[in-house]
Amino acid sequence: MSAPTRTKQHPHDDAPDTARAFERLVTLPDGPERKALKDELIRSWLPMAERIAVRFKGRGESLEDLYQVAALGLVKAVEHYDPARGHAFEAYAVPTITGEIKRHFRDHMWTLHVPRRVQDLRNRVRNAGKELAQTTPGREPTLAEIAAHAHLTEQEVRTGMEALECFSALSLEAEMPGTDGYALGDAIGGPDPGFEVVVDRVSVEPCLRRLPERERTILYLRFFGGMTQSRIAQQLGISQMHVSRLLSGCFAQLREELLAEEQTSASAQ
């Protein structure tokens, strides 16, 4: 009797098996041994944290800084993860690291790209407004007062005030004016999944043509004709188990050929 197949616990192929290490970590008191084990766990999961960081590149922050923020999120995840809750560490770590990166953008980055000169005007206008608020209780300082206090023109003050609006964005859940509960996010389009289907079909077509005619017929009947394995078996005069084996063989062959093509393309680049 063959041994049962072990179920994969992580979607990442290189995800380390650290379940026992986490179970041991929670039993250790603070000290060198616990710190050494924690550092080992952080090193083991650092590649995953860096992959998450890469998703946020191109948004105005350097990749090295994103790596550092992701590593900080990973440290927090390792410190607070409780294996007794029954969830895999990855299920806890991914949202923790992602949340840390999003907080970094919220707290340290501009929502919209603003030139450095305008950022400087914003800071001077904001500081002048705070200082004047202490000498003009009960009212907001006027534009002319801010300009005189900050040694700016009134137009520069207006530019700085406009820049104050760029540091935060309207929530996608905000209701659009003149609508009945229609959120801003409802007006934003998204990628059409149909495009990915087209790409997948074009990619797999040459592999399908290399299959034997019977296997191509079975795939067509199953996925384009919507027939069950039992009906296909009746139509072809073979057993349902044989149909199942042929389908599994087709999937394995197609997967192997597509992976080989991807590796060849990657090497060529």
Which pLDDT value is given to residue 37?
93
Q: What is the pLDDT of residue 7?
A: 38
Cα–Cα distance measured from residue 48 to residue 78, given in angstroms and rounded to the nearest whole number: 13
Which residues are paired to 175 by β-bridges?
Answer: 183
Q: What is the pTM of this model?
A: 0.40
Instruction: Name the packing angle between helices 240-268 and 229-236 (round to 10°).
Output: 110
Rounded Cα distance between 173 and 229, Å, is 46
Residues in CB range of 56: below 8 A, 6 or more apart: 66, 101, 105
Judge contact between 223 and 213, C-beta under 8 A: no
Q: How many CB atoms lie within 10 A of CB 10?
A: 14
Give mean pLDDT in consecutive 10-residue pieces for the chain, a chain of 269 residues: 41 71 91 93 93 83 88 93 88 91 70 70 84 80 90 90 64 64 64 64 78 88 87 91 90 83 69
Q: Counting Cβ atoms within 10 Å, is residue 256 exposed (0-12), middle (13-18) or buried (19+)? A: exposed
Q: Note the pLDDT of residue 40.
A: 94
Instruction: Spell out the alpha helix ranges (H) of 55-188.
Output: 63-80, 89-108, 116-133, 143-150, 154-164
DSSP letter string over 221-241?
A: HHHTS---HHHHHHHHTS-HH
- Name the burial class of residue 15, with classes exposed (0-12), middle (13-18) and buried (19+) by CB atoms within 10 angstroms of its CB: middle
